[in-house]
Structure 1
Amino acid sequence: MRGTNGGMKLVKAALAGGVALATLAVPVVAQAQSRPDQQAFFGLYKELVETNTTLSSGSCTQAAAQIGARMKAAGYADSDITYFSVPDHPKDGGLVAVLPGTDKKLKPMLLLGHLDVVEAKREDWVRDPFTLIEENGYYYGRGTMDDKAQAAVWADSMIRFKKDGYKPKRTIKLALTCGEETTFAWNGAQWLAQNKPDLIAAEFALNEGGGGRYDASGKRQLLAMQVGEKASQNYTFLASNPGGHSSQPVPKNAIYELADAIKAVQGYEFPVKFTDTTRAFFTATAAATGGAIGGAITRLLANPLDTEADALISRDKAMHSTLRTTCVTTILTAGHAENALPQRATANVNCRIFPGETVEQTRLKLQELAGPLVTVTANAPVRPTAIPTKLDPKIMDPARKLAAKHFPGVPLLPLMSTGATDGIFLQAIGIPVYGAPGIFIDPDGNGTHGLNERLKIESLYAGRDYLFDLVKLYAG
């Protein structure tokens, strides 16, 4: 999940927070499980977590090769597995594996996961981030949640299908890629979409972004299917002046001009909009919440221009972001000497753009807000326009039906991500992408992108069983 761009995105974003630390940590040698398939999965998961795949010093290519070796040992032929990378990014490779279906009339489905993880400095962590550690019912380590849990589940499912002799009606494809966690890295999903679209062609894809949520007591509270996401785009605001000696100030000052521009952005609210997904989400939320908030949601659904209702709902930062495009200043750079008038001042403004709105439309609004003294440019890479994903009963209904069996009494809601995933590159070539539910996280976000990332062991294995059955259900 791209933090500069996001994991169960809305749920993770809404629940991000601190992590309670314990004092005793021991490396996992072997996780005792009652089923041999769970033991095999643990070996894959542990190897993946303990393989450093950070941009600075890791290798997704190595992780992909390790998973590919396991797939070949399970019976996949060389022709079933495609490794990919480019010469100038040899460590950012990935793989695509294919399990052919028996019904050629059915279009394939695609399982998408990313192997790369956010940077983790050993000196900042209580535990070694690249040693899988079991403690108090959790697995600790960088990537235990984002996104190596799901990547391991997808790879393990493909291995189990092959070993079991399972013959799906629908071809199942697996794509494990690199570069999701940074906007400036080489991105494997984008490369596949632009250079090997036939290799990953599918009727739909299952990706990260969904999941589930525990309440504060550890009870399962809800499941989420991510249906659509925002696009993440960075913009540079630039103010420039001739400068001069600081002993003789003049009205034209790059810092002041930039400050005025970013204050204008701070004070602006993009208009409220709804997709089918967010309308369904807010309708369900209004019914479940009731009271003043529930009433305000109902009014806003009927009239998106109801500013009073919007203000009340938007006190919740996750709901606020789900309703609209948001832009926020994240980096400032200004001046060149302490005794000189600034010649240059820049700001990075990070926007999460609502589906259907373009990067250029957003830039034009930002330029209007910034005024004539500041120029606004879209930073490379320019993201594709987020396409609203269809709230498809063929996707939602099987997931709900299966959830009732695996997680009785837990509602499953459609959510639009306020962050972004690699799914946006698949959407751009016509593949609808859904963030699969199943793996539950804690209210504090499990340290995703932060220190001491962790995942509840019970959640991993229960989610694995659900996702395995879900893939088989979709595959016919």
Structure 2
Amino acid sequence: MHLKNLLGAASAAALLAQPLAAQTLRPDQAQFRELYQELVETNTTLSAGSCTEAAHKMGARLKAAGFSDSDITYFATPEHPKEGGVVAVLKGTDAKAKPMLLLAHIDVVEAKREDWTRDPFKLVEENGFFYARGSADDKSMAAIWTDSLIRFKHEGFRPKRTIKMALTCGEETTYAFNGAEWIAKNKPELIAAGFALNEGGGGRLDPQGNRQMLVTQIGEKATQNYRLETTNPGGHSSRPVPDNAIYELADALEKVRAYEFPVHFNDVNRAFFTNTSKMLGGETGAAMTALIANPNDAAADKIVSADPTFHSMLRTTCVATLLDGGHANNALPQRAGANVNCRIAPGETVETTQAALEKAIGDPKVKVTAVPPIRPLAVTPPLDPKIIGPSQTLAKKYFPGVPMTPVMSTGATDGIFLEAIGIPVYGVPGIFGESDGNGAHGLNERIRVHSLYEGRDYLYDLVKLYANAS
């Protein structure tokens, strides 16, 4: 029975606000906490850490639980010895059932101790939260997947379909080695699967910690950077001329800021806005309904797009993120450039996005170039009832009354590399996060203790459901 049914909403809220250390941990939860702490406290930043070390620590725990050497494969390259990962396999009993893959990245964004309230590489439990870099993104999921395999082995669980797990490095860095990309290209047989479960889904809490909604991520945007550049012979700053490279670049960026890509619906974001319109109601809900009926409804678009998240889910977006230009204080600029970061909606391409930017700028003197790496475009997986159904059924048990909807991510994950080799990737629900994004990529990253433990139980049961399904 759900906690709120036992104690009532007020009593439950009071209990959940306590540090979990003040509550009684089950033995399996205590073991998980130890694993989670070890992973979080292993520095895996690109500058000073080692994903390879973290992968071997998780592999050692798997081996201690009874996995054989043949079940565990470490991978790294000589050029990137600290950016390795691990693949583990729990063999299934039905050779005809396609395997499933549990994916998580173990690298984290950089974190400076002087900027944080607490040491970012020490797990601190305080006021009902775990604080640390990676406590949420994405070591929470990596720890849950590793812990689930250990629990399965201890229980003697024999799944119908083989369960694979891949912990990889490089998701958080654009120009570094990416483990998911490498293994998809070089060792695809290791991760071959009928589908994969990944980050990107979850749940949303309001500022008071009340559950608002659950989402399953189905599809994502593609990330692509473009360089805008203007050039000029330059000259002495005492003799200004109209065709100044910096001014021409500024004019181009003004046009990029003013340009709106058209509304682009697919099965996933159409389902999201259909469901969300019913949950929200009012003017915004009505505008969502109108926009679904007519994507060219400018008035409805204006209302819905007032929310930056909704705006990004409706279309491709491009935004200036870096600037450079000029070479001396007393010289006319010979060159000026800017990086424009685009998030491309499924169904659109790197080339069509570049063409749209060039058309919006309308100035042949502004050179627009796609900046490597040019990654594969996300392939939106189907709204498969064999995936959606079990997650919804289990959510009714764990999170009764909480609405659930598919969602397209406006960010990007390593799922694109798996989808490129034919593995559909789904961002699973289960772990509820704060409305501000848990501080991921920012200062004082955190995750609610209770949310982590209940998410662990939910995902453990969900993997079992998928593993034994036909």
TM range (shorter): over 0.9
1:384 equivalent among 372, 376, 388: 376
Q: Match for 2:305: what amino acid?
A: S
2:224 maps to which of 230, 233, 244? 233
Aligned-residue Cα RMSD (Å) equals: 1.3
Q: 2:447 aligns with which of 442, 445, 455?
A: 455
Quote how far apart the aligned CAs of 1:32 are.
6.9
Normalised TM-score (structure 1): 0.93
Q: Which residue of 2 aligns with 1:359?
A: 350
Residue matched to 2:428:
436
Contact 1:31 1:39 in 2 (8 A): no
What are the within-5 Å matches in structure 2 for residues 259-408 of structure 1?
Answer: 259-370=250-361, 371-408=363-400
Aligned residue number for residue 144 of structure 1: 135
Q: Give the aligned residue type for 2:230.
A: A
8 A Cα contact 1:139 1:457, kept in partner: yes
1:135 paired to 2:133 = no
1-structure distance, mates of 2:25, 2:410: 39
Match of 2:236 in 1: 245
Give me the whole-angstrom Cα distance separating, in 2, the residues matched to 1:337 and 1:459. 54
Amino acid at match of 2:458: Y
- 1:380-433 CA distance string (max 9 Å, x none): 110211212211111111000001111111111111000000001111111111
Cα distance, 1:235 vs structure 2: 0.7
Instruction: Note the alpha carbon deviations across 1:115-147, whole angstroms, 9 max, x for none.
Output: 000000000001000000110111110000000
User: Which residue type is aligned with residue 78 of structure 1?
Assistant: D
Q: Supply the distance in 2 between the matched residues of 1:195 and 1:31 (Cα, whole angstroms).
A: 47
The structure 1 segments of at least 4 consecutive aligned residues displaced by more than 6 Å after TM superposition are: none
Q: Per the alignment, in what secondary structure is the counterpart of residue 143 of structure 1?
A: coil
Report the alpha carbon displacement of residue 444 of structure 1 after superposing the two structures with TM: 2.0
Would the alpha carbon gap of residues 31 and 343 (structure 1) be closer, same or farther in structure 2, given more than 3 Å must change? Answer: farther
Q: Which position in structure 2 is the counterpart of 1:35?
A: 26
Residue number in structure 2 paired with 1:464: 456
Q: Deviations over 1:27-70 (max 9, x none)?
A: x9x89743211111111100001000001100000000000000
C-alpha contact 1:33 1:39 (8 A) present in aligned 2: no
Q: 1:52-91, aligned counterparts within 5 Å?
A: 52-91=43-82
Counterpart of 1:414? Answer: 406
**Percent sequence identity over aligned pairs:** 67
Q: Indicate the SS of the match to 1:233.
A: strand
TM-score (normalised: structure 2)? 0.94
**Shift in Å, 1:367:** 2.0
Displacement, 1:87? 0.7
- Preserved CA contact (<8 Å) 1:32 1:39: no
Asked if residue 191 in structure 1 is aligned to residue 182 in structure 2, the reply is yes
**Aligned residue identity for 1:35:** R
Identify the structure with bigger relative contact order (alpha carbons < 8 Å, sequence gap 6+): 1
Deviates more, 1:144-153 or 1:257-266: 257-266
The aligned amino acid for 1:249 is P
Instruction: Please tell me the residue identity of whatever aligns with 1:471.
Output: V
**SS in structure 1 at match of 2:322:** strand
Quick check: 1:275–1:388 contact (8 Å CA) kept in 2?
no
**Superposed counterparts of 1:12-23, under 5 Å:** none
CA distance in structure 2 between the partners assigned to 1:222 and 1:59 by the alignment: 35
User: Deviations 1:287-343 (Å, cap 9, x if unpaired)?
Assistant: 122222111111110111111111111001100000000000000001110100001
- Give the match's secondary structure for 1:336: coil
Give the structure 2 partner of residue 15 of structure 1.
Answer: none
Q: How does 1:106-255 map to 2 (within 5 A)?
A: 106-255=97-246
What runs of 5+ residues in structure 1 fail to find an aligned partner?
Answer: 1-25
| Aligned amino acid, residue 379 of structure 2 | I
Q: Per the alignment, in what secondary structure is the counterpart of residue 312 of structure 1?
A: helix
Contact 1:330 1:349 in 2 (8 A): yes
CA distance in 1, matches of 2:385, 2:248: 51
Deviations 1:194-239 (CA, angstroms, capped at 9, x unpaired): 1111111111100000111112221111111101100011111111
